[in-house]
Amino acid sequence: MKRIALNLMSLTALSATVFLVACDWESGSQANFNSRANNVNISGVYEGQLSGGRAVSNTSNGTIRSLNIQQSGNTIRVLDNQGSRYDGRVSAPAVTSETQSSSIGTNAVVASFQLGFSGRDGVAARDIEFSGSLTLATITSVQASSSETERLSQSGRTVSGAPIVDGNNTITSGSSSTTFNESIVSNEFELNDSNAAMRLRGTWVERGGVVASVNAVAPVNAFSITGGGN
């Protein structure tokens, strides 16, 4: 069974939605909320969920029932079940607010990706372009293993202006700081192919041919996200 470890550490006051872009989490004023993504990979065989087991609803010729996506960095190579190859790119994932609570409900989107690819469908004899999204979603409810820790933080302010004379001491412009404890909540979700899946949806456009929809699903690959405050 393929397993996915999803670790998220959130500040208590973190706003509802956070986005993973490169190596930074940004959500409104929480631009100082940092994270790292490890082994984020959407590779897998996506099986069709449309009528007749199709992955692509319609093509000028042939039947596309599956799409094998292989990711390297932000580039992807896609092979359909008929042997045609396509190349494209995938974005960094956006992580939803579902992961900030102690549980994730059924059919909840945990993370999503934007992707696109193009190439030639050799069976249909058409150049195609695909654009759409891929979501990591639960198929059952998932409970988190949560823990709370404290760390020592420090904030400071700059003092400016004319020198102040205090007895024999002259205090010039400088800074002061305050030390305080900051509470960090950590949620860890264990996701696998029995409680989650990767869902591919989008639009398939043949140049000079048909426009079709794509709906396909693959099991969850090894996937980990770790986030934490500064």
- Its domain, for residue 48, covers 3-149+184-228
Q: How confident is residue 10, by pLDDT bands cut at 50, 70 and 90?
A: very low
42-70 pLDDT, tens digit per residue, is 999 999 999 999 999 999 999 999 999 99
Residue 111 belongs to a domain: yes
Q: What is the pLDDT of residues 135-170, one digit of tens each?
A: 988 898 887 776 665 555 555 555 455 555 555 555
Structural domain includes residue 19: yes
- Are the C-beta atoms of 40 and 93 separated by less than 8 Å? yes
How far from 64 is each of 72, 77, 108, 186, 211, CA to CA, in Å?
23, 16, 28, 42, 14
CA distance 102 to 185: 10
Judge whether 78 lies within some domain: yes
Residue 167 in domain: no
Domain total in the chain: 1
| Rg over CA atoms, the chain | 24
Per-residue confidence (pLDDT) for residue 34, from 0 to 100: 29
The answer as to whether 168 is a domain residue is no
| 64 inside domain | yes
41: confidence class by pLDDT, cuts 50, 70, 90:
confident
Three-state DSSP state, 226: strand
Both tokens of 102, joined, read: 């102690």
Task: Kindly state whether residue 166 falls inside one of the protein's structural domains.
Answer: no
Look up residue 51 and give its DSSP letter: G
Tell me, yes or no, whether 172 lies in a domain: no
